């Protein structure tokens, strides 16, 4: 008995290392679970990431190439060479980059490494959207009406669209994240839309094939988190609603889904469908089934993501499960599938991006200040703990901010406070003139969590275009206090170093030339120009 207890203790220092084939917040998040379980961690980094936080966080770090992803984080050869050099046994891909590349999984296996994720075969089967649809059809799970396979050209796409009816979506077979995706409202547009989407898809994924799908108007985007043991066993971990999107990318995610609270039968049907597919394909590890739910509670399978999702903290909040730990233990052969965990309360996550809050165009740049929220039931997943740079080579996400509360209204209140606490500022000169190009969507997120539709929970993927006030510029009519702050800032800037007071006739030229400075920041500003 005693012997057994001793052997059940994890051999903390004896575990083989995990290579984290990613960067940014997810690399740190994975490293945290590795450390908790006693797996040594190996980071990889590109030229641009030499001083990135994930490099410092891991036990060791290996340089893999130039800043462009294709030369470093996407370069299979170099990532594997790094794994070999570090003596890692496991490779965790995170999300994005190599996480859904079956050829990477095969290469890992060939190199004698354990890929933390599904097998190459399952990935091929579910990762390719066209193959996935065939599997789903075979199992009788309903999906959005559309072409069974890729369409060759605009003409063929037009024929299909005429059959299922406009509006339709053209989607990249290899894609995700809205790249290579086009909405087409009429026959006239389909040829040009096909060419543009195909070109974009070819550039982004190296594959220009597209398929056609009917566009469900005012849809809810709901996904089911599953975890499979690779032997035909699988459990679900509830759902996440991710209806609020801009540029086809999620910006707010929550669990449980408000629309499924109205249609509990649909929820059960979705869990059942997700598990039927997972068991059928003997899915191994964390995976997500994305569905569209319409206003009447009909659900349609959209696609499967064979990886950890960006928004997994939402599921972790409501289930109490550390998904990355499960992934690691499964890879180490120490995982026993438990019962479906009970889900408690409500969790909401928002994504703080370096982007323009009106146009949502990326606006990366240097950070001058970052203060993320704290307090009970608040979680910030970030790779920025001190001023650094949001690098334009990579995803411009700064942080994920998530909260938990027993009920949805309480969770929203908590999220409002968390966002109000958050500060992200660009570098500034002493007179508070902005240096560089950083903008964030913080002001947008603050408005979003106060929006009446978001409060009601009836959120659809077209929420942002339907609520133009979310993206209006803020008023230029300040409160008295704010006006005092600006006036003081200007006067103090201009009176610094002067012994005589300034009078009413202060000139414009004075304002344009604050006291000379030779700080590094002002040199950077001069080089890049302060432009907005």
Active site residues: 307
Q: Is 518 in the site for another protein (CB under 8 A)?
A: no
**Which residues in the 302-361 window bind another protein by CB under 8 A?**
356, 359, 361
What is the footprint of another protein within residues 13-42 (CB under 8 A)? none
Asked if 196 is part of the footprint of another protein (rule: CB under 8 A), the reply reads: yes
Should residue 68 be labelled a site residue for another protein when binding is judged by CB under 8 A? no
Among 207, 431, 458, 462, binds another protein (CB under 8 A): 431
- Name the E strands within 57-204: 60-65, 90-92, 114-115, 168-172, 182-184
Asked whether 223 and 239 are in contact (CB, 8 A), the reply is yes
Does residue 446 interact with another protein by CB under 8 A?
Answer: yes
Nearer to another protein, 376 or 505 (CB): 505
447 to 486: interface string for another protein, x by CB under 8 A: x--x----------------------xxxxxxxxxxxxxx
d(Cα 445, Cα 211) in Å, to the nearest integer?
33
Q: Contact at 8 Å (CB) between 300 and 216?
A: yes
170 or 332: whose CB is closer to another protein?
A: 170
Piece in contact with another protein (CB under 8 A), picked from 103-111, 223-231, 286-294, 429-437? 429-437
Bridge partners for 381 per DSSP: 400
Interacting residue with another protein among 54, 78, 129, 179 (CB under 8 A): 179
CA distance 171 to 306: 18
Q: 136 vs 470, which CB is nearer to another protein?
A: 470
Query: Is residue 188 at the binding interface for another protein, with CB under 8 A as the rule?
Result: no
Q: Using CB under 8 A, which of the segments 147-155, 166-174, 398-406, 506-514 binds another protein?
A: 506-514
Judge if the upstream peptide bond of residue 312 is cis by omega within 30 degrees of 0. no
Site string for another protein, 245-274 (x = CB under 8 A): --x---------------------------
Asked whether 284 and 331 are in contact (CB, 8 A), the reply is no
Specify the residue, 345 or 368, whose C-beta has the smaller distance to another protein.
368
CB of 127 to another protein, least distance (A): 19
Q: Which residues contact 316 (CB under 8 A, 6 or more apart)?
A: 322, 323
Structure tokens at 482: 């704010």
Piece of 130-138, 233-241, 332-340, 494-502 that binds another protein (CB under 8 A): 494-502
Question: Toward another protein, which CB reaches closer, 5 or 507?
Answer: 507
- Closest C-alpha to 528, from 431, 429, 430: 429
Residue selected from 74, 419, 454, 464 as contacting another protein according to rule CB under 8 A? 419
Residues 6+ apart with CB under 8 A from 238: 224, 225, 255, 256, 315, 318, 319, 343
Nearer to another protein, 69 or 118 (CB): 69
Q: Which helix (H) or strand (E) holds 79?
A: helix 76-86
Which of 312, 398, 299 minimizes the C-alpha distance to 347? Answer: 312
Residue of 7, 13, 456, 504 interacting with another protein (CB under 8 A):
504
Q: Is the preceding peptide bond at 325 cis, omega within 30 degrees of 0?
A: no
Is 140 a binding residue for another protein by CB under 8 A? The answer is no
Q: Is 206 in the site for another protein (CB under 8 A)?
A: no
- Between the alpha carbon of residue 52 and those of residues 27, 58, 245, 367, 416, the distances in Å are 11, 11, 28, 13, 29
Chain positions 354 to 383 lying near another protein, rule: CB under 8 A, are 356, 359, 361-365, 368-369
Can residue 520 be called a binding residue for another protein (CB under 8 A)?
A: no
State which residue, 164 or 530, has the beta carbon closest to another protein: 530
Count the residues of the shown chain that bind another protein, applying the rule CB under 8 A: 72
- What is the rounded distance in angstroms from the CA atom of residue 291 to the CA atom of residue 529? 46
Question: To the nearest whole angstrom, how small is the minimum distance from the Cβ of residue 465 to another protein?
Answer: 17
- Integer Cα distance of 364 and 355 in angstroms: 7
Examine residue 279 and tell whether it contacts another protein (CB under 8 A).
no
Q: Which stretch binds another protein (CB under 8 A): 24-32, 107-115, 303-311, 428-436?
A: 428-436
Among 142, 443, 451, 467, binds another protein (CB under 8 A): 443
How far, in Å, CA of 384 to CA of 397, rounded? 10
**Contact with another protein (CB under 8 A) among 153, 186, 192, 489:** 489
Strand 397-405 versus strand 378-382 pairing type = antiparallel
The only residue of 203, 338, 375, 409 in contact with another protein, by rule CB under 8 A? 203
Q: Is 73 exposed, middle or buried (0-12, 13-18, 19+ CB in 10 A)?
A: buried
* Residue 142 vs 490, nearer CB to another protein: 490
Binding residue for another protein, selected from 1, 501, 516, 520, defined by CB under 8 A: 501
The 10 Å CB-count burial string (b at 16+, else e) for 265-301 is ebbebbbebbbebbbebbbbbbbbbbbbbbeebebbb
148 binds another protein (CB under 8 A): no
Question: Which one-letter DSSP state was computed for residue 167?
Answer: S
What is the length of the chain?
532
What is the maximum span of the chain, computed from C-alpha positions, in angstroms? 90
| Position 416 contacts another protein (CB under 8 A) | yes
């Amino acid at each position: 008995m005693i012997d057994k207890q001793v052997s059940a203790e994890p051999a903390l220092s004896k575990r083989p290392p995990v290579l984290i084939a990613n960067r940014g917040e997810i690399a740190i998040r994975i490293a945290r679970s590795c450390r908790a379980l006693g797996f040594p961690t190996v980071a990889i980094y590109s030229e641009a990431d030499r001083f990135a936080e994930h490099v410092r966080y891991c036990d060791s770090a290996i340089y893999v190439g130039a800043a462009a992803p294709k030369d470093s984080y996407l370069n299979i050869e170099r990532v594997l060479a790094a794994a070999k050099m570090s003596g890692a046994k496991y490779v965790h891909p995170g999300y994005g980059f190599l996480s859904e590349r079956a050829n990477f999984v095969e290469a890992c296996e060939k190199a004698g490494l354990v890929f933390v994720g599904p097998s190459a075969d399952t990935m091929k089967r579910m990762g390719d959207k066209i193959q996935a649809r065939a599997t789903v059809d075979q199992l009788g799970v309903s999906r959005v009406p559309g072409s069974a396979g890729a369409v060759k050209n605009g003409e063929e796409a037009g024929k299909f669209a005429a059959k299922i009816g406009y509006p339709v979506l053209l989607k990249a077979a290899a894609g995700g994240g809205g790249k290579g995706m086009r909405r087409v409202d009429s026959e006239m547009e389909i040829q040009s839309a096909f060419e543009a989407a195909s070109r974009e898809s070819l550039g982004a994924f190296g594959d220009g094939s597209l398929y056609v799908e009917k566009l469900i108007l005012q849809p809810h985007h709901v996904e089911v988190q599953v975890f499979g043991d690779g032997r035909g066993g699988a459990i679900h971990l509830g759902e996440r609603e991710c209806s609020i999107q801009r540029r086809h990318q999620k910006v707010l995610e929550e669990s449980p889904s408000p629309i499924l609270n109205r249609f509990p039968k649909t929820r059960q049907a979705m869990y059942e469908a997700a598990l039927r597919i997972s068991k059928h394909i003997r899915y191994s590890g964390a995976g997500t089934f994305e569905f569209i739910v319409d206003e009447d509670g009909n659900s349609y399978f959209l696609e499967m993501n064979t990886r950890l999702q960006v928004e997994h903290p939402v599921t972790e909040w409501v289930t109490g499960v550390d998904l990355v730990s499960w992934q690691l233990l499964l890879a180490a052969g120490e995982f026993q599938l438990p019962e479906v965990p009970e889900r408690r309360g409500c969790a909401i996550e928002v994504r703080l991006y370096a982007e323009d809050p009106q146009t949502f165009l990326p606006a990366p740049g240097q950070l001058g200040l970052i203060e993320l929220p704290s307090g009970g039931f608040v979680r910030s997943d970030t790779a920025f703990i001190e001023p650094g740079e949001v690098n334009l080579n990579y995803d411009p996400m700064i942080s994920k901010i998530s909260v938990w509360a027993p009920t949805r209204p309480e969770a929203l209140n908590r999220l409002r406070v968390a966002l109000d606490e958050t500060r992200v500022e660009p570098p500034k000169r002493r007179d508070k003139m902005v240096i560089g190009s950083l903008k964030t969507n913080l002001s947008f997120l603050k408005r979003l969590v106060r929006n009446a539709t978001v409060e009601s929970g009836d959120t659809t993927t077209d929420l942002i275009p339907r609520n133009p006030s979310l993206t209006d510029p803020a008023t230029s009519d300040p409160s008295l206090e704010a006006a005092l702050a600006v006036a003081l800032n200007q006067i103090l800037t201009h009176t610094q170093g002067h012994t005589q007071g300034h009078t009413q006739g202060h000139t414009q030229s004075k304002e344009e030339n604050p006291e000379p400075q030779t700080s590094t920041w002002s040199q950077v500003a001069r080089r890049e120009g302060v432009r907005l």
